[in-house]
Amino acid sequence: MLDLDTIDRLELAVLPTPVQFGRRITEDLDGPRIFVKRDDLTGAGGGGNKVRKLEYVLAEAVASGADSVVSIGVTQSNAMRQLAGTAAGLGLECHCAVITDRFGIDTPDYREGGNIFLTRIFGARVHPCSESDDQRAVIEDIAAGLRSEGKQPFVIPYGISSVTGALGYVRAVREIADQMEPPAAIIHASGSAGTQAGTVVGGAAYLPDTRIIGIDVDAAPERVTDDVGRLSGQVAARLRLETSDLAGRVEVVGGYAGPSYGAVTPEVLEAISLFGRLEGLLLDPVYSGKAAAGLIGLVRKGRFSRDDKVVFVHTGGWPGLFAYRSEIAADLGPG
């Protein structure tokens, strides 16, 4: 396999992120030993999994001579927040197309708080759009307008889920392999495919006996599986990794997303509460909370033995708690 260290990368994240044993959540679930890979602590832009991807993607942008970046996400996009924060640190003008109607919450907290509030603090220019719009056309139109002004924009796909971006999670698995004995499984949220594609390829390269389990957050596990399989093959080709059964390593578990992307379910509320009061960890209701709900569900179904070590990748997203404040507060009760 091509050495990861030969590929251009900007050092934007605080790495390596720690792996911490979740003693109290392990005891509460009476299951495998649960470890948390703290990718909520990557630092830039408020932290989260996208910073790893941006280390490689923004290295390409800078090398191309770009003076601006353009991407697309939803109102409460963790990716847009982290892109805006890292771009600010590099002096790149940031333009975020924001899909305002993908999920049906229309409260001031959702429209103006959480991630979108921080995205604006980081100086990004926000361009509202609709889910019915062609994503590629929207961001290409913004880029064309910037070019007409004499600027050199660099276009980044939804979720920063590209072959280049996924390299960040190949590196993350290498970190895990250096930090602990091989776990039975690595579990994380899976939606736009980049995180899991990189983790699948990293697993094949560095932890061949570890299962990589993505918890579908889009209520579309078949689509997510297809996207992860396609992108992981492209990442493996980029790294010249020879593997006979890469597709067989793609495991996406459905049933924990609720009726749609962004839906707050009882299982997610339980996961947020358990990790909060037992480990002092903040999970968001859209990504890390759903992944934790999946982890809890799989443990309760007996998918792991008590002797197994399971790594939960905490992908961040804590600002989303404030966008869903009313929904989450109603579950907390008097305090």
**13 and 251 in contact (C-beta within 8 Å)?**
no
What pLDDT is attached to residue 66? 98
What pLDDT is attached to residue 243? 83
Q: So where are the chain's domains?
A: 4-48+161-332, 50-160
User: Rounded CA gap, 249 and 251, in Å?
Assistant: 6
- The Cα-based distances of 65 to 23, 165, 189, 191, 287 in angstroms read 48, 18, 33, 30, 33
Q: CA torsion 94→156→5→187, rounded to 10°?
A: 110
Q: CB-based burial of residue 48 (10 Å sphere; 0-12 exposed, 13-18 middle, 19+ buried)? A: buried
Active site residues: 77
What pLDDT is attached to residue 17? 98
What pLDDT is attached to residue 38? 98
**304 and 33 in contact (C-beta within 8 Å)?**
no
User: Rounded CA gap, 179 and 176, in Å?
Assistant: 5
- Which tokens hold the place of 226? 């297809």
What pLDDT is attached to residue 22? 98
Average pLDDT for residues 108-114, to the nearest whole number? 95
CATH hierarchy code of domain 4-48+161-332 = 3.40.50.1100
Asked, colleague to colleague, whether 4-48+161-332 and 50-160 share their fold, the answer is yes
Longest CA span, the chain:
61
Residue 232 — very low, low, confident or very high, per pLDDT cuts 50/70/90? Answer: very high
Average pLDDT over all residues of the chain? 96
Question: Residue 71 contacts by C-beta under 8 Å, 6 or more apart in sequence?
Answer: 79, 80, 83, 95, 96, 97, 139, 155, 156, 157, 158, 160
User: How confident is the model over 237-292, as pLDDT tens digits?
Assistant: 999 998 878 989 999 999 999 999 999 999 999 999 999 999 999 999 999 999 99
Which one, of 265, 247, 269, lies nearest residue 257 by Cα? 265
Which one, of 80, 75, 129, lies nearest residue 107 by Cα? 75
- Does domain 50-160 fall under CATH 3.40.50.1100? My reply is yes
**pLDDT above 70 for 208:** yes
**pLDDT above 90 for 163:** yes
Which phi-psi region, left, alpha or beta, contains residue 308 (left: φ > 0; alpha: ψ -120 to 50)? beta
Helix axes 194-206 and 163-179, enclosed angle (nearest 10): 50
Q: CB-based burial of residue 259 (10 Å sphere; 0-12 exposed, 13-18 middle, 19+ buried)? A: exposed
